[in-house]
Amino acid sequence: MSDYLYTLLGWLLFLAHTSLVIAVTLRVIMKRRPVGVSLAWLALIFAIPILGVATYVLFGEVRLGRKRAERAKSMYRPYADWINVLVSRFPGQQFQVNDQVKPIHELVKARLNMPMLNGNEMSLLQQPHAILASLLADISWAHSSCYMEFYIWHSGGRADDIAFALMAAARRGVDCRLLLDSVGSADFFRSRWPKRMRDAGVKVVEVLPVGAFRVLLERQDLRMHRKLVVIDDDVAYTGSMNLVDPACFKQDAGVGQWVDIMLRIRGPIVPIMWSLFVWDWEMETGERLLEQLEYHPVSFLDKQLRLQLLPSGPFMGGDAIQQSLLTAVYQARHRLVLVTPYFVPDDPLVAALCSAADRGVQVQLVLPARNDSRMVNYACNAFFDELLGAGVEIHLYGTGLLHSKCVLVDEQFALVGTVNLDRRSLWLNFEMSLLIDDGDMVRKLLWLADTYLAEAEPVSWLHWRQRPLRQRVLENLFYLLSPLL
């Protein structure tokens, strides 16, 4: 090939590369996302052009796929109408919402059409064996339906007992359905369990499946992170625990046994939680189950426990979960406790926490001393200087991987569910939380948080500032990438 052709080819490649970088840069700019997120993407694109452009094409935008987007659009009105009709049948729903809770309640009602409902009953389950035993008992007594949705199902130990109970329920005619995330439950889908369950009559669906042919059509890191069980339209569970036996789960990760909570719930909120499962089922399969529920209201009006469901995810309520979290922080007057395994906040959340501490609120952030992601751990530590300097208490729990997720405001209300305090949970994953407006239940949760604090080591700001230079460099490096984590 002549020098002229080499030169021409070089210029063509240069022009193609430059055009691609310019096109992707304009795409980033026109999306008008938070400035930090846009700048992080632009820095990556210009620092490593080919890799940066490829990474943005794969992970830079929310793409759930055309079918899911069309379903979501067509599903909203039927579900909203169904919930409105259902709620009108519940007795005892004329009540006053706590003044501190009211801003979040109104936001969620406006954005998500989710009502706050009175007359619920709730049990706090905090030991793995108690959680699995309670689930096992409720599945064993199921007579009409058993719907379960988890990010991770990991076989082994007592998790297998749940699988056998689910298959036994299906064999006796119970409608058993299981939604599991494709990535979180990858080992499960490679095992013999899906076939065994399907052969027994359990309907098993792999949610948001990944694969080489899906890369350009659907973003592969959008995950279904909910933990939800609804049995006989009467009992529901949610919280932080996946369907695993902690004694058998990630024992080689070097972080100890995972520490979780689940809430067992009865009352008017249960059919609302049921509707979230059937929404996800229809989103993934196209099969509508909504009209199948003939719910006879069960209320525990002597309990006066008010609950509101906050589902979140791409195309669901926009920034409702982030705004609810920020509102909760700004509503705190005396004490604010945040428990989370993964803490990679955005700037508004950091500012809100510092502001709360500055105005005299005791802000306590409880994190695991070690988690299963070194990269996230470095990014998390990058925020310590600013938070400690403002007076936020940071406590590192060392007795296992603290995986519980809750925000407790004074002794008034709480947010409990599956949401981590990171951008992925707030913006990308399908999550769920419960807004709890009940002083007695919040005091139980505060007691649990105090048990975590008793086993945690407080971080001293003076000692923290003496950490090695190498650690600071890594923290600041991953801090720059935190908008992308």
Cβ pair 210, 224 in contact under 8 A: no
Indicate if the alpha-carbon torsion angle 369, 326, 221, 480 is positive or negative: negative
Catalytic residue chosen out of the listed positions 410, 422, 437, 438: 410
Characterize the bridge pairing of strands 456-458 and 305-312: unpaired
Catalytic residue chosen out of the listed positions 138, 181, 232, 280: 232
Enter the tokens of residue 63: 């793409």
Instruction: Quote the radius of gyration of the chain (alpha carbons, Å).
Output: 24
Catalytic residue check, 296: no
Q: Rounded to the nearest 5°, which phi and psi values hold at 35?
A: -55, -40
Q: Phi-psi bin for 232: left (phi > 0), alpha (psi -120 to 50), beta?
A: left
Catalytic residue chosen out of the listed positions 260, 280, 403, 438: 403
Cβ pair 209, 186 in contact under 8 A: no
Catalytic residue check, 410: yes
Enter the tokens of residue 480: 């720059």
DSSP 389-426: HHT-EEEEE-SSEE---EEEETTTEEEEES--EEHIII
Catalytic residue chosen out of the listed positions 105, 138, 154, 225: 225
Catalytic residue check, 105: no
Catalytic residue chosen out of the listed positions 105, 405, 422, 437: 405
Catalytic residue check, 129: no
Catalytic residue check, 403: yes
Catalytic residue chosen out of the listed positions 105, 154, 227, 395: 227
Helices and strands of the chain, counted as H and E runs: 18, 19
List % helix, strand, coil for the chain (3-state, nearest 5): 50, 20, 30
Element (H, E) at 125: strand 116-125
Short-list 426, 238, 395, 237, CA closest to 328: 426
Biggest CA-to-CA distance, the chain = 89
Catalytic residue check, 347: no
Q: Rounded to the nearest 5°, which phi and psi values hold at 94?
A: -95, 105
Give how far Cα 350 sits from Cα of 356, 363, 365, 378, 387, Å.
10, 12, 12, 16, 7
In angstroms, the CA 44 to CA 46 distance is: 6
* Catalytic positions, written as ranges: 225, 227, 232, 403, 405, 410
